Amino acid sequence: MTQEFETTRGRIDGDQVHFGQVFPLSVICASRDAELSAACDWVGRQRDELVRLSSEHGAILFRGFPLQSDRDFDQFVDAFGLTNFPYEESLSNAVRINRTERVFTANEAPSDVRILLHHEMAQTPVYPSRLFFFCEQPAESGGETPLCRSDVLLDRLRDRSPEFARMCEERGLTYSNVMPATADAASGMGRSWKCTFRADNRPVAEERMRSLGYSWDWLDDGSLRATTPVLPAVKTLPSGRQAFFNQLIAAAGGWKDARNDPSKAITFGDGTPLDADDVAVAVEVADDLTFDLAWQQGDVALVDNLVTMHGRRPFTGTRKVLASLVAMDDDPA
Ligand code: FE2
């Protein structure tokens, strides 16, 4: 028998309204002592609607749902019936640890590292359509997940800096980063080239890079500088709106560790450098538009990766936020 499961749509502190829609949309569990199986049945019934709403609103926060553990989160995500985007197959720079087949730690970077706004893997040709986040344990302080609507950002950037917005759109962007030979957990982008390209040796890595259109240099210390093909900086969404779908803010400001210098991390697609003042305008507009999701234990967020950027605020204490990614090819929206 299907257990009753009730939800309401609420508002939370600091949420925003864009194009008449609340960002993020909050869906609150209204059933007392609800069981996970009932929540998952409800998800299964609402799945198409929820996926559609996550695109319209940019993100949905599920609050008060009966999730405690990584396994609960795995079940909840599974109830959506969407295809998993496995971390091992991604070209992500981040070091992560899998908890279940589809659930992993969001980023193993140290707590004082601020992770700047980005679209997941927009600096690679292969990226997920959506992301789920789950708060297993909120930080003692800080640790919010900033969320920013890139379609609104592009509109504002076109007003503030039309020439820069036009250059981004016409020229595209190229990203370059240095990957260590073995994982560097002290860096937010410390994934090794062996892991990134699923290669035990250089010829296999080179073959994979060639098939993806990358260029590369091997460095003396065994690390690899990999440069992407020209990737678009602006994407037209299924809604018809356009979004600033790229990794400009994170790459220009945050791709910094023992191996990487942010000033070399990103150029226009024709190889010309970005103007630091233009980048600063994009950062300022994004900061203005950012909503900070202050996590409560059990929260789940479903984020449309094409519409909304995310990041991570520094924190104190232990913060356990897990993530799960949805593959592009299975997206019903
Ligand atoms: Fe991310």
Name the CA radius of gyration of the chain, rounded. 20
Q: Cis (ω within 30 of 0) for the bond into 24? A: yes
> Could you tell me the pLDDT band of residue 332, with boundaries at 50, 70 and 90?
very low
User: Is residue 81 one of the residues assigned to a domain?
Assistant: yes
3-state secondary structure the chain: CCCCCCEEEECCCCCEEECCEEECEEEEECCCCCCHHHHHHHHHHHHHHHHHHHHHHCEEEEECCCCCCHHHHHHHHHCCCCCECCHHHCCCCCCCCECCCCCEECCCCCCCCCEEEECCCCCCCCCCCEEEEEEEECCCEECCEEEEEHHHHHHHHHHHCHHHHHHHHHHCEEEEEEECCCCCCCCCCCCCHHHHCCCCCHHHHHHHHHHHCCEEEECCCCCEEEECCCECCCEECCCCCEECCCCHHHHHHHCCCCCCCHHHCEEECCCCECCHHHHHHHHHHHHHHCEEECCCCCCEEEEECCCEEEEECCEECCCEEEEEEECHHHCCC
C-alpha 32 to ligand 1 mean position (Å): 33
Parent domain of 80: 7-142+292-326
> Which pLDDT score, from 0 to 100, does residue 333 have?
43
> Could you tell me the pLDDT band of residue 77, with boundaries at 50, 70 and 90?
very high
C-alpha 119 to ligand 1 mean position (Å): 7
Asked if pLDDT for residue 72 goes beyond 90, the answer is yes
C-alpha 15 to ligand 1 mean position (Å): 21
C-alpha 305 to ligand 1 mean position (Å): 9
C-alpha 34 to ligand 1 mean position (Å): 31
Amino acid in the structure at residue 153: L
C-alpha 321 to ligand 1 mean position (Å): 11
User: Is residue 173 one of the residues assigned to a domain?
Assistant: no
User: Is residue 28 one of the residues assigned to a domain?
Assistant: yes
C-alpha 122 to ligand 1 mean position (Å): 10
C-alpha 33 to ligand 1 mean position (Å): 32
C-alpha 10 to ligand 1 mean position (Å): 26
User: Is residue 287 one of the residues assigned to a domain?
Assistant: no
CB 116 within 8 A of CB 253: yes
Q: What percentage of the chain carries pLDDT values higher than 70?
A: 96
* Cα pseudo-dihedral 149, 116, 190, 266, rounded to 10: 80
Asked if pLDDT for residue 2 goes beyond 60, the answer is no
User: Is residue 198 one of the residues assigned to a domain?
Assistant: no
User: Is residue 270 one of the residues assigned to a domain?
Assistant: no
Q: What percentage of the chain carries pLDDT values higher than 90?
A: 77
User: Is residue 203 one of the residues assigned to a domain?
Assistant: no
Q: What is the pLDDT of residues 155-167, one digit of tens each?
A: 999 999 999 999 9
pTM: 0.92
C-alpha 1 to ligand 1 mean position (Å): 39
> Which pLDDT score, from 0 to 100, does residue 109 have?
76
Q: Which residues have a Cβ under 8 Å from the Cβ of 165 and sit 6 or more positions away?
A: 154, 157, 158, 234
C-alpha 246 to ligand 1 mean position (Å): 12
CB 267 within 8 A of CB 273: yes
- Scan for tokens 């897990």, then name that residue: 322
Label residue 136 exposed, middle or buried (CB < 10 Å: 0-12, 13-18, 19+): buried
C-alpha 316 to ligand 1 mean position (Å): 19
> Could you tell me the pLDDT band of residue 1, with boundaries at 50, 70 and 90?
low
C-alpha 309 to ligand 1 mean position (Å): 8
User: Is residue 250 one of the residues assigned to a domain?
Assistant: no
C-alpha 121 to ligand 1 mean position (Å): 7
| CATH code: domain of residue 124 | 3.60.130.10
How many folded domains does the chain comprise?
1
Select from 12, 11, 132, 135 the least CA-distant residue to 67: 135
C-alpha 248 to ligand 1 mean position (Å): 14
C-alpha 62 to ligand 1 mean position (Å): 19
C-alpha 3 to ligand 1 mean position (Å): 35
Q: What is the pLDDT of residues 268-325, one digit of tens each?
A: 999 999 999 999 999 999 999 999 999 999 999 999 999 999 999 999 999 999 999 9
